[in-house]
Chain A
Amino acid sequence: MRERERGVLPGFGLALGFTLAYLGLLVFIPLGALVLKAATSDGGHLLSTVLAPRTLAAYRLSLGTALVAALINVLFGLLLAWVLERYDFPGKRLIDGLVDLPFALPTAVAGIALTTVYASNGWVGQHLARLGIQVSYTPLGIIAALTFVGLPFVVRTVQPVLRELPAAIEEAAASMGASRLQTFLRLILPELAPAAATGFTLALARGLGEYGSVIFIAGNMPMKSEITPLLIMIKLEEYDYAGATAVALAFLLVSFLILLLVNMLSMRSGVRAPAA
C-alpha cells in the first residue's frame, strides 16, 4: 500500500517483511512440509485411510464435540461476562482471575482432574451415574473437557464490548418503554453478537485441536470416543507417517473451512455493528 499516506510510525516495509517471515517459519513451512509429505505418498492409500470408518468416526466426534462445547461456552461465557461486568460482589476479582485458569493449567492436569471427578465413582460422576448418565469415557466427557479449555475465549472477547456499551442505550430504551428483557434481547444481545461469534470461533478452533485434556477422559475407544488428534498420534506410533499426514491434512482442511465460514459470518455481522 505504497500510495497510502505515511503514518506517524514508519516501517511498513519492515513490519510486513517481519510478519511474512514469522508466519513462514511458524505456519507456512510446517504446513508445507505436511502437504509435501502427503504428496509424496501413495494416493490410494491416503484416500482409503481418510475414508476409513474409524477415521470418519473420529472426524465426526472431533467436530461434533468441539461444536457443542463452543456453543455451551457461548451461552455460559455470555452469562459469566455479564455477571463479571455488571455486578459488584465480594470475590469478583478472584472469579475474574479464575476465568483464565484453563489457559495456564497444563491441559493434561485438567483432563485427569475432570476424569477423577466425573468417573462413575467420582464426586460428581457417582450422582450422575445413579441418573444413568455416564460422563467419563464417553463423548459427554470430551465435551466437558473441551468446554473447560474453551471457557476463557467467549468471556474475554465479550467483556470489553460489554464494558464499552454505553449505559445511555439502556436508559434510552427504558424511556421509550422497553422492558429489561426487551432491551436485552433487542439491543444488548445484537451488540454483543460479533464478539460472542469471535469467542465462539476461538473456542471451536481450540476444541478441534485439543489433545491433552481429552485423552484422559475420553476412554479412547475406536469408533466411539476416539478424537482425531489421538488417531493421528496412534498412526504415528504405528509408524504410518503417510496415514497420519493424510488424516491430519484432511482434518486441517475441514477445520480451516469451518473457521473461515464462521469468520466470514461474524465479519458480516461485524459490518453491521462496527466497533466504533
Chain B
Amino acid sequence: MAIVLDHLNKCFGSHCVVNNVSLEVRDGELFVLLGPSGSGKSTVLRMIAGLLEIDAGRILLHGSDVTGVSPQRRGVGFVFQHYALFRHLTVAANIEFALRIRKTPAAERRRRRDELLELVGLVGLEKRLPHQLSGGQQQRVALARALAHQPSVLLLDEPFGALDAKIRAELRRFLRRIQSELGVTTIFVTHDQEEGFELADRMGVMNYGRLLEVGPPMELYLRPQTEFVATFLGRANLMVGECTPSGVKLGPVVLPFDGQVTAGGGERRVQVLFRPEDVAVKDSPDALRWPLLGRALVDEAGFSGSIQKIRLRLPPLQRVRPISPAVPFGADYILVEATRSQHQARQFPLAAGDQAWVGVRRTHALLHPGLSFLAVTDGSPEGAAAVELAGSIGRLAHARLTLLGLDPDEPRMHAHLEQLRERIGGGPAAVDLRSSPDDLSETLARETTRQPYDLVLHALPAEGATAAAERLLESQEHHLLLAPSPPRPVPQRVLISVAAGEAGKYDVLFAGRLIRHLGAAATVLSVAPEESSEQWLEQGRRFLAGAARTLSLLGVPERTQLRRGRIGDEIRRELSEGGYDMIVVGAPLPDRSRRISLEGVVGGLLADLRDLPVLIVRADLGALEPDRPPAGARAGENTGASKTLAGSVPPDARRRKP
C-alpha cells in the first residue's frame, strides 16, 4: 500500500473536521477524494503532506510510519489550488527549486528540468516569470515543480478549481496521461464529481469530516450505500420504501432491485435510489416494458445539450417518503427526475403540463438507511437542551432531524423552532420543523405513524421519569434518548449496560451504530446475579466478546466489564468509577398489549440519574441491522430467527434485565 491512513482525527475545539478517517491507497493508483467544501478532504491531504498536525491516528507512506515526520522529509509532491508558484523565480528556477535544495549537480538539474518541461509541454517557456503565463500553464509548472524531486506520492488539492471549464477538461486528460506514464501514486482532491468520475481509479466521498464510501466511480454511482453519496454523485431520485423478498416496494409498486441488498427483519424501510436515466417515460402504460410507477404530469421539460431533463409530478404513494428531489412544502405529490436522449425526446415530445406514464428500469436499495431523529420540545430550556443534543449528534451522524414543538400557540412555537434550527446549522442531512397544539402522546403517535424514526429525543423529565419514558416508547418502534439539562457536550465515554442474550445483541448494535458517529469510546457492562452459575458467567463472557467484536467492527473503541451483584448497584458503581457521560440501557421487551414497562432497573436508574443522557434501546425494532454487507439470503432467515426467539421463550423470561 502506498498510502495508509489509520483512524485520522483532527478537531478544532469541539468541531471535528476530520472524523476517524481510514483509507488505503494502492501503489500507482489515482485516488480522488471528493466532497463538498468544508467536508475535510483538503485537511486530510494536508495531513498526509505533514502540513497539518493530526490529533490522533497514523499515516503510513509506502509502509513506513510518517506520522511524526516533518513535511520536508516525507517526500511528497503537493500541488495547490492557486499554484503557489514562486513569483520572483522563472519557470526553470521554480522547477529546479527542489533540486537546488537537494544540492543536485547543475548538469543533472538541467537535465531533469528539461525532462519535466517536456513532460508538461512547456518547452521554450522556461525563462518566463509565473505572471507571464496563463492559469493553465502556471498549474503545469506547479505540477512539474512538484514532480522534480521524484516524490513517492503526489497530492493535488483542487488543482483545477481556479480554471475555466475548457482548460479544466484539457488538464484532466493531461494529468491522467502523466500520472499513468509516471505511475506515481496520486491523491486528487476535488468537489467536482465530474472531475472525480473522469480521473479516478477509485474514489472516496467525504462529508462532515467522515469518509463515507470508497470504491470505483461506477460502483459508487450505481450502488451507493449512503444517502449522501447517492445524492451527491449525479442526480438522484431517492425515496423511502419497503424491502421485501420479491423486490423493493414503493407504495403499491414492486420494483426489481439489483441483487442482494438487505437483511434484517421482514418488510423493512429502505431507501430506494433510481437515477434519472433509469426512468422510462412513455405515452401509454402498455408501451412501458418496466414496472409502472404511475401516471405523471410533466412539471418541467428542459433542453440541456445531448439530453433532455424532465421533472415529473406523481401522485403520492402510500407510506413512501420522498427524499430527493425535495418536494415543496405542503405539496401533495412527489417529484421524479428523468433524462432522455434527444432521439427519444423527438419520438415522444413532452412539454410542461403533458401527461405521461412513468416506469423504472433499475433501482438500487441503500445498505445504510440514514438515521432519522425526532426531537421533542415544549419550548422550555429543558426541551431546548434535548434539541441541542439532537443537533450535535445529528450533525455528527449526518442524520435527518425533525424538531417537534408542542405548544397551543403554534406560531410562537414555530418561531422558536426556527431559532433552534438556526442554532443547529447545516450539519444534519435535513432539519424539518413540526408544531402541534395537541398533547405529547397523541402528537407522537400521529407523527411516528406518518413516518418512522430511529430515535426520539426528549428532555429527561424531572419527575415521573419512568412513566414519561414509558409513554414516549409507547407508540411505534423507535429508541429513546433522554437528554439532561443544561446541555452537555457530545458524549465521549458511553456505558452500554445490557443483559447477555439475543435482545442485548440488538442493543449493542444500535448503540454502536449511533455512537460510532460521536467518536466516543464504549464500555459494555454485563451484570450477573451474585449466585449465578459458572455456565451463566461463561455465557456472559461469550456475549461480551461478541459485543466487543461488533463494536470494533463498527470502529468504536470498546472495553468490556463483567460484574457480579445486584444489577442497579453494579451499574451505579461502574458509572461512578468510569467517568462516563452517557448510558445505554435496553428496554424490556413489550408485553402482549405492546406496552413496555420500565419498572425495575431502568426505572430505578431514571429516578436518580440527573446529569447523563440516557439512551433506552428497544430490541424489537425491525430497522436494526449490522453495518456490514450481509448476505442477501439472510433476510428470510433473520426474520425466522427473531420470530422464533420471541415465540419460544417463556413470557416471564422475555422481560429482560438491562
Contacts and interface: CB of A to CB of B under 8 A. Distances in A.
Contacts of A274: 87, 131
A273 interface: yes
Interface string A72-91: 00000000000000000000
Interface string A158-195: 00000000101101111111110010001100110000
Interface stretch (B116-124, B143-151, B287-295): B143-151
B76 A273 contact: no
Nearest to B97: A176
Contacts of B84: 166, 168-169, 171-172
Contacts of A273: 87-88
B58 to A, nearest CB: 20
Contacts of B76: 175
Contacts of B129: 272
B88 to A, nearest CB: 4
Interface string B56-89: 0000000000000011111011101010101110
Given A187-B86, A273-B87, A274-B87, A178 B80 contact: no
A190 B90 CA distance: 13
A111 B145 CA distance: 53
Given A190-B88, A273-B87, A168 B101 contact: no
Contacts of A174: 50-51, 70-72
A175 B102 CA distance: 13
A25 interface: no
A252 B463 CA distance: 90
Given A175-B76, A175-B77, A175-B146, A168 B71 contact: no
Contacts, number: 69
A105 interface: no
Given A173-B97, A178-B72, A276 B88 contact: no
Interface of A is mostly: helix
A178 B50 CA distance: 13
Nearest to A169: B84
A177 B101 contact: yes
Contact of B98 (A166, A177, A179, A190): A177
Contacts of B131: 274, 276
B619 interface: no
B548 interface: no
Interface in B410-440: none
B145 A166 contact: no
B86 A179 contact: no
Interface of B: 46, 49-51, 70-74, 76-78, 80, 82, 84, 86-88, 97-98, 101-102, 129, 131, 142, 145-146, 148-149
Given A171-B78, A176-B148, A178-B72, 20 more contacts: A169-B86, A171-B51, A171-B71, A172-B78, A172-B80, A172-B146, A174-B50, A174-B70, A174-B71, A175-B77, A177-B102, A178-B98, A182-B101, A186-B97, A187-B86, A190-B88, A191-B88, A272-B129, A274-B87, A276-B131
